[in-house]
Chains A and B, each alone.
Chain A
Amino acid sequence: MSQLLISVALLAPVVASLLSFSLKKAKVTETISIITSLILLAISILGMTSILDPGRVVFDGLLRLDRLAQIMLLVIGSVSTLAGWASISYLDSMELSHKFSTNPQAPPPNRRTYWALFNIFSFAMVLAVLSNNLGITWVAIEATTIATTFLVGFKRTPLSLEAAWKYAMICSFGIAIALLGVSIVYFAATHSGLSGSQALQINVLTTHYRLLDHSAMRLAVGLMILGFGAKAGLVPFHSWLPDAHSQAPAPISALMSGVLISVAFSVILRVVAISNLVLGSSYAHTYLAVMGLASMAVASLLLINQRDYKRMLAQSSIEQIGFVAVAASFGTQLAIAALLLHVVVHGIGKSLAFISVGRVESGFHTTEISKVKGLLKNSPSVGFGLIVALSVLVGLPPFGLFWSETAVITSASRTHFVLIAAGAIVFILISSVALVRSVLKMTLGPGDLNSAIAVSRGFSPIAVAGFMASILLGILASPTNGLLMSAAHSIAGLR
């Protein structure tokens, strides 16, 4: 059964990608892509509700659908459904503005490439979370960079080219550092007597942790946290994120901010689980606490005076993933369960935010906060979407981030954790104030008739779906939910 689910989850995006590239009818391609996202969502729910043994590895130990994978699949499925849905109208409006553009030489947006890469991107993320082999995980994470570089540069403007270049360079560099870490794990594992085919399997490494050499693993874990941290948007390799997110098409920003960074972080969680067993919990947790707090600090300070709304959302993502890293550094079961909830809710909230501002951008032709006013009045559904996303992101009850943030803070019971938690609270406050101030500037106020309007036609269902999903999650899921707790237990890696 889990074999079947895993095969479908991997094959569906590949098939969708091939079809998107070969089929000419745009409508068919769009439908196929969205159905694929829904299939991923369904598989995650099936996995969660069925009585499968979540720890079972299949296909020669290469893949497994454990609790963490199920939760990440839920994020991938739900966010890619929202982003795919929003992509349709995004591409339509891009085509429209191309028709009336003053530069007839510019090529029209290439829908086939867009959807093909969109689905390859999903496939790479699914593979990264299902993989039980550090090598395969690495290949998959690198593949996400390859699939998204062209999507970041999709608008073909000089600015998007700059963003794509920086994105490709920084992430490839980070990922190369992670590869060095993976090679050192392989070195340590083969020298401890594990066979070559088993040496990178996560479940084998966690059962035979006593054999692994400490000094080699210390080097490897540090390199892997730094390297995969680049892809997760953690300091010191965070600088690609605001550039890429501000230049990519809005639905792609939604996917990158809502899922990609958390998928990369889920890989870090796997690494930390191994590290905790081999080196004790303080080693990796120190890395996470320092990188997490630094990310929160950098992001919230940049947020204070932010004038560009897409960069603002991107920096908020750095701040959120920093908080997730801080939560992981506490290492308690409650903190990890809460961070998983955080990742799910943030994924939906942030993608709704990006999709809404995508509409704003195509209406106003600017990304400056000060030039956008009166959204609620002139484009009610876009304004509504943005306000809902804001409430989710700043952690207002009943939305999930309220529960996850409270749980993480309360789980910081030990003294040195309390200081870290206090720091995290300060940065959350700073960034929340900055977010609220900017979003209210954009949504409230009189919308005079002469000003530009964000087109809200067809947006209400997306906004309502995002709202419903966030509310449902807030009511149904709490950090003490059995599923989240059992996921946290299996990945905490505590001796």
Chain B
Amino acid sequence: MTNSSLIDLASAALLLSGVFIASYNDLARQGSLLRLQGLALAAIAFLMAFEHNSLELWIVGLLVLVVRAIVLPGLVKSAAKRIPTEKDRSHSRVSNTTSLLISGASTIVAYLATIPLSHLDSSSTTKASSIGLALVLIGVQILITKRMAVGQIVGFLVLDNGIAAFGFLATLGVPLLLELGGSLDLLFAILIMGALTDRMIVKFGTTDVDELSELGDR
């Protein structure tokens, strides 16, 4: 297999894992899929580092592996264990089938939206960058359709993975400094959201964000 077909394979894994995360409601499974997504992202970075013989990309790949494939999915999985199960509640606003349909539509929209970019550079990686945008849209979909706090955090992570994927596939990765700052920010943001979720369990006994409806202008 050539290097570029391996990159295509990893990109496909990225998109598919995103679609499945959107349709599942089980946090532990979403955590595993997020790990897969992080691995695929790291694989893309490593493959590009190998192809272009760039030390910077190797370091970025390592960073992606640690943050997006190990630490963040681990946080989601540990949250899944801590959170009380609420059996009678559906965790999603839409059914599995609807979710798959929306993801399909998002992917088409993403392909259409990246047409103006592909005329700049017709190489396969730039074409694959529509996968990054599709993941961003699927992340938004998860953010909107999931009702549980951690489900929304997962959506946010998928969205961020999508942006990172766009960065790698379209531009050979963003500069190391930006990736470093971005990962650090992401890590802190997720830690803070996790801490807020823990407080939610204490104060409300649930992590259903629909319960957060006291504030507003009436």
Q: Is the CB of B196 within 8 A of A173?
A: no
Query: What is the chain A residue whose CB lies nearest that of B178?
Result: A135
| Chain A interface SS verdict (over half) | helix
Task: Tell me if A21 is interfacial: C-beta within 8 Å of chain B.
Answer: no
Chain-A contact segment, one of B68-76, B89-97, B182-190: B182-190
Task: Tell me if B209 is interfacial: C-beta within 8 Å of chain A.
Answer: yes
Tell me the total A-B contact number using a CB cutoff of 8 A.
131
Partner of A153, one of B133, B160, B199, B215: B199
Task: Tell me if B200 is interfacial: C-beta within 8 Å of chain A.
Answer: yes
Q: How far is the CB of A315 from chain B (nearest CB, A)?
A: 8
Q: Is the CB of B159 within 8 A of A176?
A: yes
Given contacts A153-B196, A176-B160, contact A242 B116 (CB under 8 A): no
Chain-A contact segment, one of B9-17, B29-37, B162-170: B162-170
Q: Is the CB of A179 within 8 A of B117?
A: no
A452: chain B residues at CB < 8 Å are: none
| Chain B interface SS verdict (over half) | helix
Q: Is the CB of B185 within 8 A of A196?
A: no
Q: Is the CB of B214 within 8 A of A161?
A: no
Partner of A136, one of B177, B195, B213: B177
Partner of A176, one of B117, B129, B163, B192: B163
Partner of A179, one of B149, B182, B192, B209: B182
Task: Tell me if A472 is interfacial: C-beta within 8 Å of chain B.
Answer: no
Q: How far is the CB of B147 from chain A (nearest CB, A)?
A: 13
Task: Tell me if A186 is interfacial: C-beta within 8 Å of chain B.
Answer: yes
A165 to B120, CA, bound (A): 40
Q: How far is the CB of A319 from chain B (nearest CB, A)?
A: 14
Q: How far is the CB of B170 from chain A (nearest CB, A)?
A: 5
Partner of B196, one of A164, A200, A215: A164
Within 8 A of B (CB), among A149-203: 149-150, 153, 156, 158-159, 161-166, 168-169, 172-173, 176, 179-180, 182-184, 186-188, 190-191, 196-197, 199-200
B170: chain A residues at CB < 8 Å are: 183-184, 187
Chain A interface size, under 10 / 10 to 19 / 20 to 34 / 35 or more: 35 or more
Partner of A216, one of B117, B149, B159: B117
Q: Is the CB of B156 within 8 A of A176?
A: yes
Partner of A219, one of B117, B181, B193, B212: B117
Q: Is the CB of A216 within 8 A of B120?
A: yes
Chain-B contact segment, one of A26-34, A140-148, A419-427, A475-483: A140-148
Q: Which residues of B contact A (CB under 8 A)?
A: 113, 116-117, 119-121, 129, 133, 136, 140, 143, 149, 152, 156, 159-160, 163, 166-167, 170-172, 174-175, 177-178, 181-182, 184-185, 188-189, 192-193, 195-196, 199-200, 203-204, 209, 212-217
**Which A-B residue pairs are the 10 nearest by beta carbons?**
A139-B181, A215-B116, A135-B178, A162-B212, A142-B185, A243-B215, A146-B188, A187-B171, A187-B170, A183-B167
A138-B181, A179-B163 known; 11 other A-B pairs, CB under 8 Å? A139-B178, A139-B182, A139-B185, A145-B189, A169-B143, A179-B160, A180-B136, A183-B163, A190-B171, A216-B120, A247-B215
> What are 10 residue pairs bridging A and B, where the CB atoms are less than 8 Å apart in the complex?
A136-B181, A159-B215, A165-B212, A168-B189, A176-B160, A176-B163, A179-B163, A186-B174, A197-B175, A243-B216
